[in-house]
Amino acid sequence: MSNTPMAANPLTRAVLEIDEYASGLGWDQPARLFALVDTARLRVREPALAQQLGLGDEPETTGLTPIEQDEIPAERPLDEFLGTIAWPDAVAGCALTVERLMLPPSAEAQVPQGLDDRELAQWVADHPERQEVRMTVAVLRDGARESALRLREKDSPTEVLTGPDLVPGLAEALAATFED
């Protein structure tokens, strides 16, 4: 978490840590899924793993540790994949980082009617006002949410926008992975 700005909330710190990690990998990356585990609990229950993750000597006793999961299958739609996930009780939350194209709200009125998903994606990709964005969204079992958005054209740690309601649809999909 070397360059991650300090945040008061452990969930915000975890989201910014994941954003920093994804940023270090560069753009044009696949979606990445993370389990969020209570750091103090991890140190007690899995001391070898905590040591392997570099958590053994940290003085902080609160917080969340992101643990990257296996690769998300590229050929499967993300919403379908998320529908197959069930987390063990030791997982306090989860996070996902994914890159997408987005348009400003002013472009909504320009969207042609009757496009299928493939045609709409192509229309967005060809739009002159499109922006590439990396979204990192996290949810906890208790319902807490946090997001970080980073535009490719403003790829800097000081230009990351955070907030709980930036990507509500993705937050809902992640929250559903904790439902029975």
- Contact between 135 and 98 under an 8 Å Cβ cutoff? The reply is yes
C-alpha of 162 from chain center: 11
Least confident of 40-49, 91-100, 107-116, 163-172: 40-49
- pTM for this one? 0.83
Burial class for 79, CB neighbours closer than 10 Å (0-12, 13-18, 19+): exposed
- The pLDDT, as a whole number, for residue 1 is 43
- Contact between 9 and 62 under an 8 Å Cβ cutoff? The reply is no
Backbone angles phi, psi at 151, to 5 degrees: -80, 140
Give whole-number Cα distances, 15 to 110, 131, 143, in Å. 33, 21, 15
Neighbours of 31 (CB within 10 A): 18
Rounded to the nearest integer, the mean pLDDT of the chain is 86
Neighbours of 32 (CB within 10 A): 19
- The pLDDT, as a whole number, for residue 55 is 66
Kindly report the three-state secondary structure assignment for every residue of the chain. CCCCCCCCCHHHHHHHHHHHHHHHHCCCCCCEEEEEEEHHHHHHHCHHHHHHCCCCCCCCCCCEEEEECCCCCCCCCHHHHHCCCCCCCCCCEEEEEEEEEECCHHHHHHCCCCCCHHHHHHHHHHCCCCEEEEEEEEEECCCCEEEEEEEHHHCCHHHCEEECCCCHHHHHHHHHCCCC
- The pLDDT, as a whole number, for residue 30 is 93
- The pLDDT, as a whole number, for residue 2 is 46
In this predicted model, which residue has the larger pLDDT, 57 or 78? 78
Residue 2 amino acid letter: S
